[in-house]
Amino acid sequence: MSRKQKRGTVIGAGVALLGVAVGLVLYALSDTIVFFYTPSEVAEKEIAPGQRFRLGGLVEAGSLERLGGERVRFAVTDTDKTLTVVYSGILPDLFREGQGVVAEGALDGGVFTADTVLAKHDENYMPREVADALKEKGVWQHAGEGAQ
Protein backbone atom coordinates (compact mmCIF):
# COMPACT_ATOMS: atom_id res chain seq x y z
CA MET A 1 0.00 0.00 0.00
CA SER A 2 1.45 3.32 -1.03
CA ARG A 3 1.74 6.32 1.25
CA LYS A 4 -1.08 8.07 -0.62
CA GLN A 5 -3.38 5.05 -0.19
CA LYS A 6 -2.62 4.87 3.56
CA ARG A 7 -3.49 8.56 3.99
CA GLY A 8 -6.74 8.05 2.05
CA THR A 9 -7.65 5.06 4.22
CA VAL A 10 -7.02 7.03 7.43
CA ILE A 11 -9.07 9.99 6.18
CA GLY A 12 -11.88 7.69 5.04
CA ALA A 13 -11.95 5.88 8.38
CA GLY A 14 -12.01 9.23 10.22
CA VAL A 15 -14.93 10.48 8.13
CA ALA A 16 -16.80 7.20 8.73
CA LEU A 17 -16.25 7.44 12.50
CA LEU A 18 -17.39 11.06 12.50
CA GLY A 19 -20.52 10.08 10.56
CA VAL A 20 -21.34 7.31 13.03
CA ALA A 21 -20.82 9.72 15.96
CA VAL A 22 -23.12 12.35 14.42
CA GLY A 23 -25.72 9.66 13.70
CA LEU A 24 -25.64 8.44 17.30
CA VAL A 25 -25.98 11.99 18.66
CA LEU A 26 -28.95 12.72 16.38
CA TYR A 27 -30.59 9.44 17.36
CA ALA A 28 -30.14 10.24 21.06
CA LEU A 29 -31.62 13.72 20.61
CA SER A 30 -34.61 12.57 18.58
CA ASP A 31 -36.61 11.75 21.72
CA THR A 32 -35.89 15.09 23.38
CA ILE A 33 -36.54 17.48 20.50
CA VAL A 34 -39.89 19.22 20.97
CA PHE A 35 -41.24 21.39 18.17
CA PHE A 36 -43.34 24.52 18.60
CA TYR A 37 -46.59 24.91 16.68
CA THR A 38 -49.49 27.34 16.64
CA PRO A 39 -53.08 26.05 16.34
CA SER A 40 -53.04 26.90 12.59
CA GLU A 41 -49.85 24.90 12.08
CA VAL A 42 -51.34 21.96 13.99
CA ALA A 43 -54.36 22.06 11.65
CA GLU A 44 -52.11 22.16 8.56
CA LYS A 45 -49.61 19.49 9.56
CA GLU A 46 -50.28 15.85 10.11
CA ILE A 47 -49.09 15.41 13.66
CA ALA A 48 -49.25 11.83 14.86
CA PRO A 49 -51.23 11.23 18.04
CA GLY A 50 -48.86 10.98 20.95
CA GLN A 51 -46.10 13.07 19.33
CA ARG A 52 -44.93 15.64 21.86
CA PHE A 53 -44.80 19.29 20.84
CA ARG A 54 -45.31 22.76 22.25
CA LEU A 55 -48.52 24.59 21.46
CA GLY A 56 -48.44 28.37 21.68
CA GLY A 57 -50.94 31.14 21.31
CA LEU A 58 -53.43 33.13 23.31
CA VAL A 59 -55.85 31.67 25.83
CA GLU A 60 -59.24 32.29 24.25
CA ALA A 61 -61.47 34.55 26.34
CA GLY A 62 -64.33 32.67 28.04
CA SER A 63 -62.86 29.23 27.30
CA LEU A 64 -61.49 28.29 30.74
CA GLU A 65 -63.49 25.48 32.39
CA ARG A 66 -62.72 23.76 35.68
CA LEU A 67 -63.39 20.04 35.23
CA GLY A 68 -62.95 19.08 38.87
CA GLY A 69 -59.88 18.78 40.99
CA GLU A 70 -56.90 20.32 39.27
CA ARG A 71 -58.18 19.40 35.81
CA VAL A 72 -58.97 22.32 33.48
CA ARG A 73 -59.92 22.79 29.85
CA PHE A 74 -59.23 25.91 27.81
CA ALA A 75 -58.75 26.89 24.21
CA VAL A 76 -55.54 28.23 22.67
CA THR A 77 -55.97 30.41 19.62
CA ASP A 78 -53.81 32.28 17.14
CA THR A 79 -56.98 34.20 16.12
CA ASP A 80 -57.23 32.00 13.01
CA LYS A 81 -57.57 28.49 14.45
CA THR A 82 -58.33 27.27 17.95
CA LEU A 83 -57.29 24.08 19.72
CA THR A 84 -58.79 22.73 22.94
CA VAL A 85 -56.29 21.97 25.69
CA VAL A 86 -56.87 19.73 28.70
CA TYR A 87 -54.43 20.10 31.58
CA SER A 88 -54.18 18.40 34.95
CA GLY A 89 -52.20 20.37 37.45
CA ILE A 90 -51.86 23.74 39.03
CA LEU A 91 -51.99 26.55 36.51
CA PRO A 92 -49.31 29.23 36.76
CA ASP A 93 -50.36 32.27 38.83
CA LEU A 94 -50.18 34.51 35.77
CA PHE A 95 -52.35 32.25 33.61
CA ARG A 96 -55.26 34.35 32.31
CA GLU A 97 -57.66 34.41 29.42
CA GLY A 98 -56.43 36.58 26.57
CA GLN A 99 -52.79 36.15 27.57
CA GLY A 100 -49.98 34.29 25.85
CA VAL A 101 -49.38 30.69 26.83
CA VAL A 102 -47.16 27.80 25.82
CA ALA A 103 -48.37 24.29 26.62
CA GLU A 104 -46.31 21.14 26.16
CA GLY A 105 -47.95 17.80 25.55
CA ALA A 106 -49.49 15.73 22.77
CA LEU A 107 -52.64 15.43 20.70
CA ASP A 108 -55.14 12.85 21.87
CA GLY A 109 -58.20 12.52 19.66
CA GLY A 110 -58.18 16.15 18.49
CA VAL A 111 -57.63 17.50 22.00
CA PHE A 112 -54.22 18.67 23.15
CA THR A 113 -53.38 17.01 26.46
CA ALA A 114 -50.81 19.17 28.21
CA ASP A 115 -48.51 18.19 31.03
CA THR A 116 -46.81 21.58 31.25
CA VAL A 117 -48.33 25.04 30.92
CA LEU A 118 -46.21 28.18 30.85
CA ALA A 119 -47.72 31.64 31.10
CA LYS A 120 -46.10 34.95 30.44
CA HIS A 121 -44.43 36.42 33.50
CA ASP A 122 -45.15 40.12 33.12
CA GLU A 123 -47.34 42.31 30.98
CA ASN A 124 -44.54 43.13 28.53
CA TYR A 125 -43.31 39.59 28.00
CA MET A 126 -44.59 37.16 25.40
CA PRO A 127 -42.81 33.88 24.68
CA ARG A 128 -40.67 34.48 21.60
CA GLU A 129 -42.26 31.63 19.65
CA VAL A 130 -45.77 32.94 20.39
CA ALA A 131 -44.82 36.52 19.50
CA ASP A 132 -43.18 35.39 16.26
CA ALA A 133 -46.21 33.30 15.32
CA LEU A 134 -48.60 36.17 16.07
CA LYS A 135 -46.42 38.58 14.09
CA GLU A 136 -46.44 36.14 11.19
CA LYS A 137 -50.27 36.08 11.31
CA GLY A 138 -50.35 39.87 11.43
CA VAL A 139 -52.23 39.99 14.75
CA TRP A 140 -49.31 40.96 16.99
CA GLN A 141 -49.57 44.18 18.87
CA HIS A 142 -47.05 45.25 21.45
CA ALA A 143 -48.31 45.12 25.04
CA GLY A 144 -48.54 48.91 25.15
CA GLU A 145 -50.80 48.87 22.07
CA GLY A 146 -53.18 46.21 23.45
CA ALA A 147 -53.21 42.64 22.17
CA GLN A 148 -56.08 41.29 20.12
DSSP string, 37-95: E-HHHHHHS-PPTT-EEEEEEEEPTT--EEEETTEEEEEEE-SS-EEEEEEESPPPTT-
Q: What is the pLDDT of residues 84-125, one digit of tens each?
A: 999 999 998 888 888 889 999 999 888 999 999 998 665 566
Give the structural domain span for 100.
35-119
Asked whether residue 55 falls in the same domain as residue 100, the answer is: yes
* Binding residue numbers for heme: 121, 125
* Binding residue numbers: 121, 125
Asked whether residue 49 falls in the same domain as residue 94, the answer is: yes
Mean pLDDT score across all residues of the chain: 86
Tell me whether residue 143 is in a domain. Answer: no
pTM of the model: 0.66
Mean pLDDT by 10 residues, the chain (148 residues): 92 96 89 84 88 91 91 92 94 87 91 90 68 77 50
Asked whether residue 58 falls in the same domain as residue 110, the answer is: yes
Tell me whether residue 27 is in a domain. Answer: yes
Q: What is the pLDDT of residues 102-113, one digit of tens each?
A: 999 999 888 999
Tell me whether residue 127 is in a domain. Answer: no
Tell me whether residue 133 is in a domain. Answer: no
